[in-house]
Amino acid sequence: MNTVIEVKDLVKEYGKSRAVDRISFDVKSGEIFTLVGPNGAGKTTTVEILECLRKPTSGRVTILGYEIAKDEAKIKKRIGVVPQEFNAFERLTVLENVKLIADIYGRKGELKSYLELLDLWDVRNKKFKILSGGMKRRVGICMAAVSEPEILFLDEPTTGLDPEARRETWGVIKKLKETGKTVFLTTHYMEEAEKLSDRVAVIVKGKIVAMGAVKEMIEKHGGGYRVFTKVGGKEVEAIFKKYTDSIIKVDGGLCGKFLGKRDAAKVALDLYSRDIEAEIVEPGMEEVFLSLVGRKINERGEFE
């Protein structure tokens, strides 16, 4: 795949504070690349530099072969942006908002395909102000996509949405990828990064602490599989000890850690054969982040 974004030793300082600290990464054509981390990690600052909205203190950034320092106008014509604090014209309908952007960019084609792709056709004549939060976010993505950009920047696209609306938005983002779009995503939701991304960069305090394909990140940093029981006692502990030395007490029960799924399944079957219920939990990005940083992020994007 072709490289469409290249970032080398990017730094952004505000006075004596360094919001982005010598980060480097690239983004391939057609992939979903995600910067994931807590609030204040430098995600939005980074994406706004890539969108040519902020100037870097130092470092080199190229978008689609253009340098942001010299080719801002050319870059802006070829990217779409949905900012974290997105809003549209409240008194206009969905269709009117989307058409406005299409007209600005000189896109004269049929808008129905975009509205259908993002499941907005049935609400096209509703005013923006009466839509749900999830639907409004979808309109924002449609407005960004209708300019036919080669790269879409989505900054925290599901923040503040309920779980159902969040998952619906994930479906929309997946559809965009299926059309060949490159998507640059920022989020503090580990599950979102895991479900959507081809590659992930974990950013904390302005530094990228790990980066790679989701599956590789989980295998390397996820800490293995876990088997949980709600009951403890010597009998259950003895069963665990046949398979692993890594056992901890959790909420009145036990948890055993295993490097592979096969070993986790063996102990679970052994427990089931003795009428002891067990749950196998596969590692994910939550475990990756906890392993790398030592802390979890709550719903608000703050460290727990």
Q: Per residue in 125-180, pLDDT tens?
A: 999 999 999 999 999 999 999 999 999 999 999 999 999 999 999 999 999 999 99
Calculate the alpha carbon distances from 260 to 185, 222, 223, 244, 281 in Å. 31, 11, 10, 11, 12
Beta-carbon contacts of residue 237 (< 8 Å; ≥ 6 apart): 247, 254
268-274: average pLDDT:
94
Report the alpha-carbon distance of residue 223 to residue 160 in Å, rounded.
30
Report DSSP state, residue 77: T
pLDDT tens-place string over residues 79-107? 999 998 899 999 999 999 999 999 998 88
Sheet holding 79-82, edge to edge: 79-82, 151-155, 182-187, 32-36, 199-204, 207-213
Q: Tell me which H or E stretch contains 130.
A: none
- What are residue 26's DSSP bridge partners? 6
Report the alpha-carbon distance of residue 2 to residue 174 in Å, rounded.
20
pLDDT band with cut points at 50, 70 and 90 for residue 59: very high
* Residue 73 pLDDT greater than 80, yes or no: yes
Q: Which residue has the higher pLDDT, 259 or 196?
A: 196
pLDDT tens-place string over residues 188-235? 999 999 999 999 999 999 999 999 999 999 989 988 898 989 888 889
pTM equals: 0.88
* Residue 1 pLDDT greater than 80, yes or no: no
* Number of helices (H), then strands (E), in the chain: 11, 14
Calculate the alpha carbon distances from 30 to 50, 83, 180, 211, 279 in Å. 17, 20, 5, 18, 37
pLDDT tens-place string over residues 10-42? 999 999 999 999 999 999 999 999 999 999 999
Give the model's pLDDT for residue 212: 97
Give the model's pLDDT for residue 260: 82
278-292: average pLDDT:
91
pLDDT band with cut points at 50, 70 and 90 for residue 261: confident
pLDDT band with cut points at 50, 70 and 90 for residue 270: very high
Per cent of the chain over pLDDT 90 is 81
CA-angle at 71, arms to 67 and 75, nearest 5°: 90
Average model confidence (pLDDT) across the chain: 94
Report the alpha-carbon distance of residue 16 to residue 223 in Å, rounded.
37
